[in-house]
Structure 1
Amino acid sequence: MITKQLIGYAGVVISSLLLHLSVTTSAHAQNTSATLSSNSETVHWPDTQYTKDIPTFNDVLGYSPGERISSHAQMLRYFEALERAAPERIKLIEYAKSWEGRTLFYAVLGSPSNLASLDEFASNMQKLANPDLHDNEQALIDTLPASVWLGYGVHGNEISSTDAAMFTAYHLLASPTQSTNQSILNNTLVFIDPLQNPDGRTRFTSRYYATVGMEHSADRQSAEHNEPWPNGRTNHYLFDMNRDWLAITQPETAGRIAAMNTYTPLVVIDLHEMGGDASYYFAPAAQPVNPHMTASQIENMGLIGENHGEHFDAFGFDYFTREIFDAFYPGYGDSWPTFYGASASTYEVGSSRGEVFRKRNGDIYTYADSVQKQFVASISTAEATAKHRKKLLKDFYDYQLSAIKAGNDTKQRYYVFSPEYDRAGAYKLARLMAKHGVRVEQATEPFKACSASYPSGTFIIDSAQPKGRFVTTTFSEQVDMSEAFIKEQERRRARHLHDEIYDVTGWSLPLMFNIDAQTCSRVSAKTQSVSDKLELRAKVTNPNADVAYIIPWGDMAAVNFLTMALRENVIVKSANEAFTLKGGKTYPAGSLIIEKRRNQNVNIQTLVTTLAEETGAIVDGVNSSWVIKGPSLGSGNTPELVTPKVAMAWGESTSVTSAGNTRFVIERQMGYPVTAINVADLSNADLSRYHVLILPHGYYQSALGESGASHINEWVSEGGVLVTMSGATKFIADADVLDVSREYAVRDSNDEPSPDKGRVSGTLISSHQALLDTIVNADSNPDYVAGVLANVAVDQEHWLTAGVKPNVVGLVGGSDIYTPIKLTSGHNLAWFKGEDKVLASGYLWEENKKQLAYKPFLIQQPVGNGMIIAFTQEPTFRAYMDGLNVMFANALFRAPAHTRTLR
């Protein structure tokens, strides 16, 4: 029976490949011997005999390991059978429910004595993890077991690792006296998270087996090997959960992080799959490596990798290290654990992406082959962890000491941020850091620090703490890749080779939240500790107001108040400009106005108070509507908001993650429902029932074409609001619906593309560099950007940017740069800052800095009775660009009130 542990919601790390083992029985010994079928060769873990008291795959599921891709339900049933058979050596603990209601759990395996002391183990690891609060570390290092966390299947279509997890557990339980297993069980606690993404795996397995015919096809072109949209990689909300460790937006991730913060396992492995023609990858990682990782962490993964090399050589498995899969971004399953002191790594196996796959060299590769390799890597990891038990414990303890010392030694020891200008954002950021296990304090009275005054309620994070390196890497505006790595990327770019930057290079949380976090060398204030249950409390003044209630606009508390009010059929106005009431209080542009006389059909006083308490919003009751500055409450500049019906493009042609992230931000962060419409239906769909249509990032040309663009544009002209982002903006710009154009790269050469394929004028090439310059097309795109944070200036005199700060930060990726819209066609409402200020965080090519400067980020174009609101990048990227949420909310909830049509 799975035990529930109340440590949050979660998911687990990883995804990967499978194993096929056939089990034969010796009637005389009543033991079984594990074998693996791989290209007609029998492979086994050496010197292993299995007892009959532990149920096999066949006993419970009716098939052998690697013979079939196990579903979530089958996996769960098998682990429950293992726990019933050996409850003193394996314990199952539930840590989350997926969005679709599936159970996520981890299994803990160890010797009976180690498993019986699991709670004591957690307590002792917390002592090692907090040396400034406890002592007697040497006794703990001498006596504690090591711990390894094996995370499987974070990407649901990376299938082999889950079956490997099942057989790993069986192998450890059914052969406890085998020498390797004995060492593992006596010296370690093995945590197995067998399936971090049950919703994605269920999507994959159901579709895969629905396509199988008379026999499984090995052809990579077959339907079996080509998933429909969305594939099984992502979870229910289409999140790539291996990128969710930083923002913790998904319940699967939250539960997993809570569990890992409880036990702080010393070694953490994230098992994945890659293309089926590849072999197997494990650490050491490729460059760049995050500079806040320690030498001992890197060394330990090298030791474990060497152990794998010995086993892979013995089994005859090809493998590689170092060439790809870096360790720079702190938001992966193999990087986040390093910031509490673990040694962590990604493993990647070539995927069969089904039961059988033909490689390009003609070899037949089976699901069992991939499971086998994942199983061997899993056991090898646990073996190496047991072998280096004392070193790993000592290095973990030393990591905490060095983190505290590093914080003490820096001049930017404290990070201080006030909720004064964005209450909801500041509270969410503080709560997020507490979820990460960071010690966060909140001032209980005003204080001064570094020549600045801060109000009561200000949050303070001291980097001189065990999680100090995590604080530094997530709160610093810039984390640099190594100089040598950057030099090599610039060399490759000069040769017109692809760079080796794998993911985003900027991720500063204060920047992404648009929170002003100041650094200070010394802070003295009365504080209280903050937990991950920190609540934003409502502030309601004069709840018995005679005339109206006003909710200042500008944070997510106000956005949530608005969406809940609209869903309760409250009539709400919103001011286009700031205004000052009699008595002198000024309210920002966008502020919500709820007039009592217009809402007599409900107990508005009670409802407003309830909504404020549920959202944490500020609500001021007013007894007079007299305005002494700005638009009056009855002015045309305080329009009544529509309760918008919102649709968005869904399915083939949309980016899976962009569609999912966008829907999640609206539904789960803003609390408002969205209707998803398949892209294929948008060309002739009746859109008249919707006020807003969102086209997330995607590739719409082939699916919609000119006729689709024309149909949507006609709906806009009749009063609709079209919101586009990134690739969707490209589509409507290329279709001449939006009056902007994408730019070619700016080149030093004045050459123009020549339509003539005949002779051209002769040229002189003076050097190799001149040759490289000559071969670049004049109509080539700007260089591709993996992902940086960029500074964006915001127009403060337009209703669409009401409540948005003058300066925000947006994420820039890809190679599209747009011309500003002409004044006769629309408005450039947010634009990138100048060349010397555009980069907020990350690494951006110099040419892109120059060309991106002052180019649009947000464009508004009136079309007939409606309008187009175009984001040139993705404001909902990974659902962690919180500082853009008010801007995005304006497009959804304020824009329909500014169309010229009856609603």
Structure 2
Amino acid sequence: MKQYFYALTLLFSITLQAQLKSPAEFFPNYGKQVSYYYQLENYFGYLIQNSGMVVHKPYGLTNQERGLNAYVISTPENLKELENIRLNHLYSIGMGGKQVNVADKAIVWLSFNVHGNEPAAAESAMSVAYELVNPKNAATKEWLKNTIVILDPCLNPDGYSRYGNWLRDISGKEPNPNASDREHMEPWPGGRQNHYAYDLNRDWAWQTQVETQQRIVLYNEWMPMVHVDVHEMGYNEPYFFPPAAEPMHDFITQGQKDFHNAIGEMTAKKFDNQGWNYYTRERFDLFYPSYGDTYPSFNGAVGMTYEQGGIGAGRAITMANGNTLTLQDRINHHTTAVLTAVETASWQKDKLVRNFRAYFKDSRENPKGKYRTYIVKNSGKNEELALLLKRNKIQFAYADESKKLTGYHYQSDKDKEFTIEPNDLIVSANQPKSVLTQVLFEPAQRLTDSLSYDITAWALPHAYGVESYALKKDLAIKTKAEVSRKGKFEYERVYAYYVPWNGRASAKVLSLLFKNNIKVRSSRKASAFRGIKVSPGDLVILKGDNPQINNFKETMNALLDEKPDYEVIESGFSLSGADLGGESYPLLEAPKVLLLSGNSVSPTDFGQAWFYMDEIIDYPVTIVDVQNLGRIKLSDFTTIILPDGWYEFSDSQKTSLDGFINDGGKVIAIAGALNIFEDRAGYSLTRFATDADKDLEAKEGDEEALNARYYDYQNAERRAISGSVPGAIVENVLDKTHPLSYGLGDRYFSLKTTDSRYQLLKNVWNVAYVPSGYKNFGFIGRSLKKKLENTVTFAVEQKGTGAIIYMVDNPLFRGFWENGNLLFSNALFLVD
């Protein structure tokens, strides 16, 4: 009887699979209209229910509480052994797991739609999944015998939904291929980014966003051998697939390059048969480590970007060549290309497995970089750095003894003697994540081609503003797993609480204190109390300032619980410096913050400021679209944040802003927002310090124009980058006495991403500026490099009883420049 029941069940299962519906059969409008996100989830739910070849791996939720999902696709036999395959795979590369007697498999991860307004990616994910499990597709069944496919159909559900819902709202019955139709003019902020308007495709290594953080947990549980990142680009572009372009990072291996070539040859044959346009080896490089192709590459995988023309195409668009590109066309191209990647991985399985294991063995035994050990001196910023390392599964420890050493000093860019002390953070290149470790910590990365797609420097010691050293050898020293914290000083009475200003945790605590109506003072002078050295910027909460708190001690201990380096001060009388009640400890004002958004504001730069306020420091902010600025009372606020953008304020709007500043308001203007104040009467912001400087640059420009008469056409793009900086680390001198510089260290290394520059300004505080002979890391164009000398990066101008903080560089860039987060906190809370 049992055998009969089993036979019936098996027959019923086979019948269901034979009748499996394609996306076009499941959705009446598939390929004609963008799907709702719930429809995409429903289709994968349907596949799970009707195929024995799919396992659902939910891995989290977005900010807007949409599900983040991955689906493991393989043969039923492989899925039965799935956990053993995973554990054995991790064991083989030294990342935990356990040795299990199972056959090796190629592990392929497919990522779709990290950019929400590139919908053909998510749409094609359904077609790819269907073809992999389609009972009538004998070829894919052969591929899956030795392949595990992990398919993430939408990395950015919030952005995808924003775009799709908008397109549905404005769609007519038939698509309008005319580029002038509103179907092709997506409104601000667009669907490209996530909820906080972050570009998730730049966040793989930094993991500032909740989507990335949750995804990388699952990624590290699998460590795929191949990663395909599926995108769209401008709709007039042909299809791009590997091989990638230069510059390729020096750590990209020959095995990874060989697979790129193999995939290129295979995919080209498929596209040639269809007569589809494509290109390879152009534009999309493998250098910046936080992309969906490079991050997997530095984790041993063959990382690849696939790009289909389609952004702005809506449902159909007339291209420059006169042809009409439909959503279905885009789906077809992606489906063919991605399935070819799975096919190639399948027939190259043995080579992939061999190369992947060799990658981890070789990189651990023979690190590719110049240095083998990285040492970060103990500071308040190390907690965030340690969190980043943990998220990336980079192993580290803390020194448990002192030792004199000589090593490369990041801040001075030269070798230097130093002493490693207990609690200093140690990262060794001798570990499974050796390559990623070195990519993130190496002081400089060699560019094989200066035409880079993204920033060219990112060394963590500069990003975090932490004094750091690198050694060319392994370090033998006693270590411990956690920081040892000294006990609190004993005290008889509570006069005040002291909180060091040394990282984002300090700003978050100040935010919490303000939200609880606690009055807080900030030090303006180095002072000493019993056992406590107070530095400029450090916070002091006086019991006498807060008589409304009945249980001062218990309340403060609770509020400061997440800042364990706080101390109690028994007396306001200093041993040196200034007493707590003096003018060197002014009261801070809790800012009432207005953040501008909307048309004329860069969505990603707005998002970085919003994310900073909402998530990094958790402080209330009022967000107003630029077009509604005239409807609010600026006097209701004390601080206005102007993110980067291309503002076109009317005269009346400028007058209102002038009055706000003159009456005591503070404006934080970032990058393009500086144009509002440049060369305006009453402001000191101007590009040139003297007319002679202005004339000199004009003369140089005339000479360049004359020389250009002899230039060839072919190298125009390369010549243009001589005056550009796609993203380089630049040394800045600090006025350490100004509140804007508190806690930043002796030097500030800024991430410069534009050629914008202003010579040192008159009648302002030039708090951070690029000195003559400055140190820099990454690419800066030859003609621009000299011009950056003696230019200001961050300045404060007093006007009336208010102030404008000029930020030529964006300190909040992508949220990973941790010292920039602290600098912005200074601007928000400490600068008056």
TM-score, length basis structure 2: 0.91
> Contact 2:721–2:781 (CA<8 Å) still a contact in 1?
no
Distance 1:536 1:313 in 2: 63
Q: What's the counterpart of residue 761 of structure 2?
A: 821
Select 1:122's aligned residue among 81, 86, 96: 86
Select 1:102's aligned residue among 63, 66, 89: 66
Q: Which amino acid in structure 2 is aligned with residue 587 of structure 1?
A: V
Select 2:193's aligned residue among 226, 229, 234: 234
The residue matched to 1:562 in structure 2 has which SS?
helix
Select 1:837's aligned residue among 764, 774, 785: 774
Q: How does 1:520-535 map to 2 (within 5 A)?
A: 520=471, 521-529=473-481
> Contact 1:713–1:737 (CA<8 Å) still a contact in 2?
no
> Contact 1:558–1:617 (CA<8 Å) still a contact in 2?
no
Distance 1:845 1:213 in 2: 48
Q: CA deviation at 1:617?
A: 4.1
User: CA, structure 1 residues 536+156, in 2 after alignment: closer, same or farther (shift >3 Å)?
Assistant: farther
Distance 1:524 1:811 in 2: 34
Worse overlay, 147-156 or 552-561: 552-561
The residue matched to 1:345 in structure 2 has which SS?
strand
Select 2:809's aligned residue among 864, 868, 873: 873
Q: How does 1:752-901 map to 2 (within 5 A)?
A: 783-822=723-762, 825-834=763-772, 836-839=773-776, 841-895=777-831, 898=832
Deviations 1:866-887 (A, max 9, x none): 1111111101011111112222
Distance 2:439 2:114 in 1: 24
Consecutive unaligned residues of structure 2, counting only runs of 5 or more, are 1-11, 407-416
> Contact 1:716–1:863 (CA<8 Å) still a contact in 2?
yes
Q: CA deviation at 1:442?
A: 2.2
Distance 1:865 1:782 in 2: 42
Q: Which amino acid in structure 1 is aligned with residue 641 of structure 2?
A: I
Deviations 1:825-879 (A, max 9, x none): 3211111132x3241x201123322111121111111111111111111010111
Q: What's the counterpart of residue 300 of structure 2?
A: 341
Consecutive unaligned residues of structure 1, counting only runs of 5 or more, are 1-29, 33-48, 487-499, 755-762, 899-903
The residue matched to 1:204 in structure 2 has which SS?
helix
Compute the RMSD of aligned alpha carbons: 2.9
Distance 2:711 2:25 in 1: 68
Distance 2:81 2:484 in 1: 38
> Contact 1:417–1:460 (CA<8 Å) still a contact in 2?
yes
1:297 aligns with 2:256: yes
Q: What's the counterpart of residue 604 of structure 1?
A: 552
Q: What's the counterpart of residue 355 of structure 1?
A: 315
Q: What's the counterpart of residue 22 of structure 1?
A: none
User: CA, structure 1 residues 158+537, in 2 after alignment: closer, same or farther (shift >3 Å)?
Assistant: farther
Distance 1:50 1:522 in 2: 59
Deviations 1:770-828 (A, max 9, x none): 779xxx9xxx9992221111111110122332333220111112221112221xx3211
> Contact 2:489–2:567 (CA<8 Å) still a contact in 1?
yes
Q: How does 1:187-336 map to 2 (within 5 A)?
A: 187-336=146-295
> Contact 1:684–1:711 (CA<8 Å) still a contact in 2?
no
Distance 2:704 2:755 in 1: 31
> Contact 2:595–2:641 (CA<8 Å) still a contact in 1?
yes
The residue matched to 1:569 in structure 2 has which SS?
coil
Q: How does 1:427-438 map to 2 (within 5 A)?
A: 427-438=383-394
Worse overlay, 737-746 or 463-472: 737-746
Q: CA deviation at 1:608?
A: 1.9
Q: CA deviation at 1:456?
A: 2.0
Distance 2:807 2:730 in 1: 14
The residue matched to 1:618 in structure 2 has which SS?
coil
The residue matched to 2:595 in structure 1 has which SS?
strand
> Contact 1:158–1:272 (CA<8 Å) still a contact in 2?
yes
Distance 1:468 1:818 in 2: 41
Distance 1:539 1:874 in 2: 38
Q: CA deviation at 1:163?
A: 1.2
Q: What's the counterpart of residue 503 of structure 1?
A: 454
Q: CA deviation at 1:269?
A: 0.5
Distance 1:767 1:250 in 2: 47
User: CA, structure 1 residues 749+726, in 2 after alignment: closer, same or farther (shift >3 Å)?
Assistant: closer
> Contact 1:544–1:605 (CA<8 Å) still a contact in 2?
no
Distance 1:102 1:428 in 2: 27
Distance 1:506 1:764 in 2: 29
Deviations 1:580-599 (A, max 9, x none): 23x46421011111111222
1:92 aligns with 2:56: yes
User: CA, structure 1 residues 846+784, in 2 after alignment: closer, same or farther (shift >3 Å)?
Assistant: closer
Q: CA deviation at 1:429?
A: 1.2
Distance 1:725 1:441 in 2: 38
> Contact 2:239–2:277 (CA<8 Å) still a contact in 1?
yes
Q: CA deviation at 1:58?
A: 5.5
Distance 1:218 1:767 in 2: 44
User: CA, structure 1 residues 660+205, in 2 after alignment: closer, same or farther (shift >3 Å)?
Assistant: same
Q: How does 1:633-782 map to 2 (within 5 A)?
A: 633-683=580-630, 685-701=632-648, 704-736=649-681, 738-743=683-688, 751=699
Q: Which consecutive segments of 4 or more residues in structure 1 shift more than 6 A?
A: 133-137, 535-539, 744-750, 763-772
Q: Which amino acid in structure 2 is aligned with residue 647 of structure 1?
A: L
TM-score, length basis structure 1: 0.84
Distance 2:705 2:699 in 1: 15
User: CA, structure 1 residues 764+610, in 2 after alignment: closer, same or farther (shift >3 Å)?
Assistant: closer
> Contact 1:57–1:64 (CA<8 Å) still a contact in 2?
no
Distance 2:435 2:677 in 1: 44
Q: CA deviation at 1:272?
A: 0.3
Deviations 1:338-378 (A, max 9, x none): 11210111000111631111111221111000001111112
Q: Which amino acid in structure 2 is aligned with residue 689 of structure 1?
A: D
Q: CA deviation at 1:892?
A: 0.7
> Contact 1:83–1:92 (CA<8 Å) still a contact in 2?
yes
User: CA, structure 1 residues 544+725, in 2 after alignment: closer, same or farther (shift >3 Å)?
Assistant: farther
Distance 2:127 2:753 in 1: 41
User: CA, structure 1 residues 31+413, in 2 after alignment: closer, same or farther (shift >3 Å)?
Assistant: closer
Q: Which amino acid in structure 2 is aligned with residue 832 of structure 1?
A: V
Deviations 1:225-261 (A, max 9, x none): 1111101000000001100112110011112211111
The residue matched to 2:796 in structure 1 has which SS?
strand
Q: Which amino acid in structure 2 is aligned with residue 651 of structure 1?
A: G
Worse overlay, 253-262 or 288-297: 253-262
Distance 2:19 2:591 in 1: 61
Q: What's the counterpart of residue 122 of structure 2?
A: 162
Distance 2:750 2:811 in 1: 7
Q: CA deviation at 1:538?
A: 9.7
Distance 1:585 1:726 in 2: 39
The residue matched to 1:353 in structure 2 has which SS?
coil
Q: How does 1:369-380 map to 2 (within 5 A)?
A: 369-380=329-340
Distance 1:340 1:647 in 2: 41
Aligned sequence identity (%): 28
> Contact 1:543–1:605 (CA<8 Å) still a contact in 2?
no
> Contact 1:92–1:106 (CA<8 Å) still a contact in 2?
yes
The residue matched to 1:311 in structure 2 has which SS?
helix
Select 1:81's aligned residue among 24, 40, 46: 46
User: CA, structure 1 residues 765+820, in 2 after alignment: closer, same or farther (shift >3 Å)?
Assistant: closer
Q: CA deviation at 1:685?
A: 3.0
User: CA, structure 1 residues 539+666, in 2 after alignment: closer, same or farther (shift >3 Å)?
Assistant: farther
1:68 aligns with 2:33: yes
